[in-house]
Homo-oligomer: A and B are copies of this chain.
Amino acid sequence: MSNDPDIDTIRSDFIEKTGLISQSEGLPRIAGRIFGMLIFDGQAVAFADLATKLEVSRASVSSSIRLLEERGLIKRMTKSGDRQDYFRLATDPYATMLQGLQKRTQANRDEIAETIQSLPANSEAADRLNEYAKFHESKSAAIIVALETIRAAAPTSSEPQNAVLKEHQND
């Protein structure tokens, strides 16, 4: 009993999923939906289309776009003869996501390590804090492993399909 849903439904469902997943990873839901849309559609999407297709305000698109750009997950492009901005996924967004996660995890570990340093030498709490630090350390180390796995799997970057689109140079 396969009731083949049409492609638009699949697409919307996927976009909602990425919205929820991103939310659980600390990004606003709209940013996740934009990310999902760029994954699904593949081609560069115009700013106005993001707002209309996702049924959100341009202001929301603007701020979510900024977040995604800051994190290095998407790239802004221009199209000659078109005044709008276009957006596509960055070259290796997943490696970048893992890298960000790894840095934050490592920063947490370092903060705990600092606390341990500041403890009096004989403190019996040190061992327990150290276990907590080791937890973050293992997590960080594991993410580095995942990074290597991902980079090994996708070493060559794919060229932009649309020759008319050009990378936008920031500052």
A interface, CB within 8 angstroms of B: 4-5, 7, 10, 13-14, 17-18, 21, 24, 26, 39-42, 94, 97-98, 104, 108, 111-112, 115, 118-120, 123-125, 128-129, 131-132, 134-135, 138-139, 141-143, 145-146, 149-150, 153-154
Contacts and interface: CB of A to CB of B under 8 A. Distances in A.
| A-B residue pairs, 5 tightest by C-beta | A142-B146, A94-B135, A142-B142, A138-B146, A138-B149
Contact of A150 (B18, B42, B134): B134
A129 B97 contact: no
B10 A135 contact: no
24 contacts: A5-B118, A7-B123, A10-B118, A13-B115, A14-B115, A17-B112, A17-B115, A21-B108, A24-B104, A39-B128, A40-B125, A40-B128, A42-B124, A42-B128, A94-B131, A98-B135, A98-B139, A131-B154, A134-B150, A138-B146, A138-B153, A142-B143, A142-B146, A145-B145
Nearest to A95: B135
A13 B119 CA distance: 12
A22 to B, nearest CB: 10
| Prevailing SS type, chain A contact patch | helix
A169 to B, nearest CB: 25
Nearest to A136: B21
A21 B63 CA distance: 25
B132 A39 contact: yes
Contacts of A128: 39-40, 42
Contacts of A143: 139, 142
